[in-house]
Amino acid sequence: MRYDDPKLQEALASVYVAGALQGPARRRFEALMHTRPALRRRVEAWEDRLTPLSEDTPAVRPPARVWRALRQRIAPDHQAPTQSAGFWNSLAFWRPFGAVAACVALLMIAYAGFNVLQPGPAPQIAGSQPQQAAPSYVAVLEDGSNQPVMVVTAFKGPWRLTLEPLRELSPDTGKVFQVWAVERGSGITRPLLQVSGSEVLRLPLDDDGWNAIKTSESLTVTVEEAGTTPTTPSGPPIFSGLCLNLKGPTET
């Protein structure tokens, strides 16, 4: 795949924004956008070019039930976005990492000052998010009907992981979504992290975490009891996706 070819990127970005990219190609493109800041910038430039076409679209007042439903969904007891500082410091966030918390805390310090690895000739635009640059691994997890649910990306230098839900994730009360790495060949599952909300998670990876990612065939998600740290899945996966190495064999 020549997704780093600027001409191809430009063509795909234009067709995507124009609404003409179809089916699986559209989903693949969106997944790629999560991992390639240069591609995302091209898309944003095309949005700037074409969105004026929407200006003449007549405004139509939506019925009140839309707002009522929205209010329900954004209510504080319903996973309102948490301010990042509070979130990072919350017990709920750190609990899944109990055993590695000390290591994680050390890596956090390194995390604050990591360098940007920008592949290819594309210039880094000031103000863009450096943590989105140069991922090494990406997995797009889909549900049983092949709809993408979340994107997990792993970066090196230092090792870190981002989990971005693509839709609302709300496990039943008392449950969490456990993300697993499934090892190539052996099929052994290793717990990676737990998710219970719909915020974007960014966290450093320790040796074990990085190893689990780079030896994994795929990532899967099961529903587990909240407050536990299971070592094997208690049920079948509800989401799964191949874990792709974006850098080729040198990375493994």
Partner 1 sequence: MKSTPNREPSERLEQLLSSCSLGDQAAFGELYEATSAKLFGVALRILKRRAWAEEALQEAYVKIWRHAGSYDASRGRPMTWMINVVRNQSLDLLRKADYRAPEDEWNPEKDQRLSTENPEAQAETSQEMQRVLGCLGRLGEEQRSSILLSYHQGLTPTEVATRLKRPVGTVKTWIRRGLIKVRECLDQ
Confirm if 204 and 160 have CB atoms less than 8 A apart. yes
Among 230, 123, 100, smallest CA distance to 177 is for: 230
Beta bridge partners of 217: none
Dihedral of CA atoms 175, 104, 160, 169 in degrees, nearest 10, equals 20
**Which window, 58-66, 135-143, 174-182, 204-212, contacts partner 1 (CB under 8 A)?**
58-66
Residue 76 or 249 with smaller CB distance to partner 1: 76
**What region, left, alpha or beta, does residue 155 occupy, with left being phi > 0 and alpha being psi -120 to 50 degrees?**
beta
DSSP 137-155: EEEEEE-TTS-EEEEEEEE
Tell whether residue 124 is a contact of partner 1 (CB under 8 A): no
Tell whether residue 66 is a contact of partner 1 (CB under 8 A): yes
Residues 76-95 that bind partner 1 (CB under 8 A): 76, 80-84
Which amino acid, one-letter code, is at 4? D
Distance CA 104, CA 209 (A): 11
Residue 83 or 231 with smaller CB distance to partner 1: 83
Residues 2-31 that bind partner 1 (CB under 8 A): 10-11, 14-15, 17-20, 22-23, 26
CB of 68 to partner 1, least distance (A): 10
Tell whether residue 173 is a contact of partner 1 (CB under 8 A): no
Distance CA 106, CA 161 (A): 15
Residue 50 or 102 with smaller CB distance to partner 1: 50
**Which window, 41-49, 102-110, 170-178, 219-227, contacts partner 1 (CB under 8 A)?**
41-49
Tell whether residue 51 is a contact of partner 1 (CB under 8 A): yes
Among 108, 106, 95, 109, smallest CA distance to 195 is for: 95
CB of 83 to partner 1, least distance (A): 6
**Which window, 73-81, 92-100, 149-157, 208-216, contacts partner 1 (CB under 8 A)?**
73-81
Residue 73 or 247 with smaller CB distance to partner 1: 73
Among 2, 58, 187, 250, binds partner 1 (CB under 8 A): 58
Residues 26-52: b if buried by 16+ CB within 10 A, e if exposed: ebbbbbbbbbbbbbbbbbeebeeeeee
Residues that bind partner 1 (CB under 8 A): 10-11, 14-15, 17-20, 22-23, 26, 44, 46-63, 65-67, 69-71, 73-76, 80-84, 127, 167-168, 198-200
